[in-house]
Amino acid sequence: MLYRPEIDGLRAVAVLPVILFHAGIGLFEGGFVGVDVFFVISGYLITSILIEDIVRGRFSILKFYERRARRILPALFFVVACTIPFAILWMLPAQLRDYSQSLVAVSLFSSNFLFWMESGYFEAGADLKPLLHTWSLAIEEQFYVIFPVLLFALWKLGRQAVIWILALIAVVSLGLAEWGWRNHPAANFFLAPGRVWELLAGSFCAFALHRRPLPGNDIVAMLGLLAIGVAVFLFDDTTPFPSLYTLLPVIGVLLIILFGQQGTRVAAILSAKPIVGIGLISYSAYLWHQPLFAFARIRSLTEPSLTLMLGLAVLSLILAAFSWRYVEQPFRAGPNTWMQSRSSVFATSIVGLVLIAGFGAWGHVNNGFPNRFSPEARAVLSMHTDRIDRTCHFDENRSKFVPKQACYHSVPDASGEVLLLGDSHVAAVWPQVTTALNASGRNVYVGSYGGCIPLPNMEHVHKSSAHECAEFVDAILTYAGEIGIDTLVLAARFPAYLHGTRFDNGEGGIEHGTRMDVRDLGATLHAGQFDLLRSKLEGLAQRFNLVLVEPIPEAGWNVPELIAKRMHFAGSDDQSLSTDYSVYVTRTKPVIAAFKAVQEQSQNVRIAPIHARFCDVATGRCANANSADILYLDGDHPSDAGAALIAPDIVQAVASLPPR
């Protein structure tokens, strides 16, 4: 196969946006498409090699797998081995347990399945996974297992038949991707069925160029480069992916491969020595960058600075150059390879995979070795959202609302019926709030739904089909009317939903994850979000007595984890932690204004002023934890102690309502 330096340059175009995206550089919010560029290049190169071997009658599946092992495994083993000591030194027990699971998954070429089951690629916590990026390697490895055998078997049918069958597979795969982002977005992102078409797109280039190269065309090749650039700079975590949108960078790569031959300006640009140099080390750079960024975030007490992340991006290239020269190259096939025989390559590969899997199993079985931390730090870390009682949490895993007797808490001779409704904040506080309301003589029905704004006919702009928020709210409000509920208590992260943004406390506590924008399903004209909030609340006030719980102050950082890290890394025994009150005021101001406007208009609306339980106007701080209690389970959910703080305000607000 003729060497094309511009293809190595194209690898640089793929890897640099990925690195800058994971570094958190806002300009490169679509940098994740670099992985798709890699997929197309891989499909092109692998198919070119296979076609040549099959045509010349020298195809050997063992030779193919030997070549892949030499190419992929040495650098992977080296980088993974380097991450293990830092994981032991710096990771919290739960993080090390999850990391250990990822080691096993990497050794089985199935990390895409693991990360699909754990979370989404853009979700909070994903950037703390040192081996998250191996999901794409797993897809390529799964492709390598099936595709060579399939291509060899189909070749007997003739070249045209092979192309048509692969085209059919590609069309089905693209159709699955388009269906998948609407119905199962996490599975669609991580699993091979919605990605195979990208690799096959590269395969079609190999077929097109096998007999003779196409004439170079600068305009077409430049359009390809432009298409990739548009995707990198205009796509973001709200772009459905993979989907028809993915055609933009994929077609861009195809145009460059097909028409960016030597002699074109695009080839001249991509063949420049610095760009080709980055392309040559791109695989190692891809392996190095995510562990560097993840461990920087794990070790830092707050969000690492942009300067540090850029420095680590440069370091990833330096380490990549080292591992390319001293790890990748010595194992490549050739007269100077460190391993001459195929059996030694396979034996060493198996030993390496078994060792990685063994350490992963050891870490998982031992729960991330919690005894590395002091008893005090372990006690703090025991605070976690897993402690939330999900009995009445009708989230996307349950989908439809079905009344549960266990969610109705009654007392003798009750003086009123209350529905406590909201998102996961209600799931966190309901035991304390319900106990307090029962003690005041109210029966209580509890209903919560994760990530759901508890207003009629509303949904997330960026949601999976399983997130049936509007259906849940409509069903539970209908049920409330049927069982005689007279008072509705609403508690939720209204600022996050209506601003759409995650929380940044301005002190290094930055919440990561996809945007949380919501919209009105029935609106023909898009009203301002806070006018919409007011309108929805006014409608609810006509149906129920209404208590509006002020937004619980968000922390921005995971409170128990940050305190435990301070104890472990800094030797601090002070568990107090707080955020700036003015940040809370600014973020919640339009929500509180809407609440007050509804209260002023209706006699049967009250506001529960719970923020004063956390925030002190005199000091200008909102407590996340104090010497006595940790008030949060993570970055926004109250702990039992936090829930106990706000329960009296809710009871008082309910008690002050007029009879209905």
What is the structure's pLDDT at 30? Answer: 95
Q: Evaluate whether residue 270 is within a structural domain.
A: yes
| Paired sense of beta strands 605-608 and 458-460, if any | unpaired
Residue in this structure with the two tokens 């089909």, named with its chain if needed: 465
The mean of the pLDDT values for the chain is: 92
The answer to whether residue 1 scores a pLDDT higher than 90 is: no
pLDDT in tens, 402-435: 889 999 999 999 999 999 999 999 999 999 999 9
Percentage of the chain modeled with pLDDT above 90: 81
Question: CA-to-CA distance for 492 and 551, rounded, in angstroms?
Answer: 7
**Residue 400 sits in the same domain as residue 492:** yes
Last residue of a domain, one of 369, 399, 433: 369
The pLDDT-based confidence of 655 (bands split at 50, 70, 90) is: very high
Rounded Cα gap, residues 164 and 647, in angstroms: 65
Q: Which of 369, 397, 419 finishes a domain?
A: 369
Which of 80, 79, 81, 87 has the alpha carbon at shortest distance from 369?
Answer: 87
pLDDT bin (cut points 50, 70, 90) of residue 160 is very high
Smallest Cα–Cα separation from 79: which of 292, 239, 338, 394? Answer: 292
660 is a domain residue: no
Q: Is the pLDDT of residue 349 over 70?
A: yes
Side-chain half-sphere CA neighbours of 483 within 13 A: 23
Strand pairing class (545-549; 605-608): parallel
Would strands 518-520 and 458-460 be described as parallel, antiparallel, or unpaired?
antiparallel
For residue 136, pLDDT over 90 is answered with: yes
pLDDT for 13:
97
pLDDT in tens, 15-31: 999 999 999 998 999 99
pLDDT, mean of residues 351-361? 97
**616 within a domain of the structure (yes/no):** no
CB atoms within 10 A of CB 61: 11
- SS3 (DSSP) at 605: strand
Q: What phi, psi does 214 have (nearest 5°)?
A: -80, 155
> Do 163 and 226 share a structural domain?
yes
The answer on 455 and 517 residing in a single domain is yes
Q: What is the pLDDT of residues 316-338, one digit of tens each?
A: 999 999 999 999 999 886 666 77
How far apart CA 644 and CA 177 sit, in angstroms, is: 46
Q: Are 604 and 545 in contact (CB under 8 A)?
A: yes
Instruction: Kindly provide the residue ranges of all beta strands, DSSP E only, lying in 358-486, ordered along the sequence.
Output: 408-409, 416-422, 442-448, 458-460
Q: pLDDT tens, 77-133?
A: 999 999 999 999 999 999 999 999 999 999 999 999 999 988 655 566 788 999 999
Map tokens 């002050």 to a residue.
Answer: 656
**Range with the lowest mean pLDDT among 169-173, 311-315, 626-630?**
626-630
571, part of any domain: no
The answer to whether position 127 is within a domain reads yes
Instruction: With residue 622 as reference, give the H or E element that holds it.
Output: strand 621-625
297 shares a domain with 167: yes
Split at pLDDT 50, 70, 90, the class of 340 is confident
Same domain, 349 and 216: yes
d(CA 485, CA 442): 10
> Quick one: 338 and 477 in the same domain?
no
In a domain, residue 138? The reply is yes
pLDDT at 385 (0 to 100)? 61
What confidence score (pLDDT) does residue 335 get? 63
Q: What is the count of structural domains for the chain?
A: 2
- Segment 369-412, tens digit of pLDDT: 999 999 999 999 987 766 788 889 988 655 578 889 999 999 99
Q: What pLDDT shows up at residue 399?
A: 55
Give a yes or no: residue 397 inside a domain.
yes
Residue 216 CA to residue 628 CA, distance in Å, equals 72
Predicted pLDDT at 166: 97
Convert the pLDDT of each residue in 443-469 to its tens digit. 999 999 988 999 999 888 776 655 788
pLDDT tens-digit readout, 191-228: 999 999 999 999 999 999 998 888 899 999 999 999 99
- Token digits for 487? 């008072």
Dihedral of the alpha carbons of 293, 277, 40, 264, in degrees to the nearest 10: 140
Are 363 and 406 members of one domain? Answer: no
Q: What are phi and psi of 81, to 5 degrees?
A: -60, -35
Q: Please check whether residue 245 lies inside any domain of the structure.
A: yes
Name the band, by pLDDT with cuts 50, 70 and 90, for residue 527.
low
The whole domain housing 431 covers 385-553+589-609+640-655
228 and 306 both lie in a single domain: yes
Q: What's the one-letter identity of residue 424?
A: S
* Cis amide linkage into residue 242, ω under 30° from 0: yes
Q: Global pTM?
A: 0.91
d(CA 378, CA 357): 26
pLDDT in tens, 263-286: 899 999 999 999 999 999 999 999
Section 543-552 average pLDDT: 97
Q: What is the pLDDT of residue 386?
A: 64
Within 184-281, residue ranges assigned H as helices are 185-190, 196-210, 218-234, 247-259, 265-270, 273-280
Residue 313 and residue 426 in one domain:
no
**Residue 659: exposure state from Cβ atoms within 10 A (0-12, 13-18, ≥19):** exposed
Domain boundary, last residue among 336, 369, 402: 369
CA dihedral for 365, 367, 369, 375, sign (positive or negative): negative
Produce one character per residue of 433-448: b if its CB has 16 or more CB atoms within 10 Å, e if not: bbbbbbebebbbbbbb
Beta strands in 56-143 (DSSP E): none
CATH assignment at residue 645: 3.40.50
Q: Are residues 399 and 531 in the same domain?
A: yes
- Cα angle, residue 634 at apex, residues 594 and 564 outer, rounded to 5°: 145
Are both 461 and 524 inside the same structural domain? Answer: yes
pLDDT in tens, 554-598: 999 999 999 999 999 988 888 899 999 999 999 999 999 999 999
Q: CA nearest 617: which of 629, 606, 609, 625?
A: 609
User: Average pLDDT, stretch 526-548?
Assistant: 89
Instruction: Tell whether 266 and 404 lie within a shared domain.
Output: no
Structure tokens at 176: 């699955």
Choose the weakest-confidence range: 37-46, 146-155, 415-424, 511-520.
511-520
